[in-house]
Amino acid sequence: MTDDMDRVQQHVEDCARDALAAHALRQRQPGRTTCANLDCGADIAPVRTALGAQLCMDCQTAEEAQAAHFKTWGRR
C-alpha cells in the first residue's frame, strides 16, 4: 500500500538520483579551451579547462545568476 509519504519519499529519491546523474555527466565532459557560448568565444584559463569548464568566467557567472533567479522548487 502506497500512502502520500511513500510517494513524497520516492519523489525525493528520484530527484536526488537525477541530480547525481546530471552531475556525473557534467564531470565526464572534457573542459573547453574557448567559451561554449557562441556569441562569446572567449579563451578559458587552462586551470578551468582542467576542471571541465564549458563557459568563460563571465558567461558562467551570468548563467549561474540567471539559474538562481529562475530556480523554483518542485519544478523539473
Q: Residue holding cell 540567471?
A: 66
Does 35 contact Zn ion by CB under 5 A? yes
Does 37 contact Zn ion by CB under 5 A? yes
Interface region with Zn ion, contact rule CB under 5 A, candidates 10-18, 20-28, 33-41, 44-52: 33-41
Q: Of all helices (H) and strands (E), which one includes residue 34?
A: none
Interface region with Zn ion, contact rule CB under 5 A, candidates 2-10, 17-25, 26-34, 39-47: 39-47
Residue from 22, 40, 51, 65 in contact with Zn ion (CB under 5 A): 40
Residue 34, all three cell numbers: 574557448
Does 45 contact Zn ion by CB under 5 A? no
Q: Report yes or no: 29 and 49 within 8 Å, Cβ to Cβ.
A: no
Q: Report yes or no: 44 and 63 within 8 Å, Cβ to Cβ.
A: no
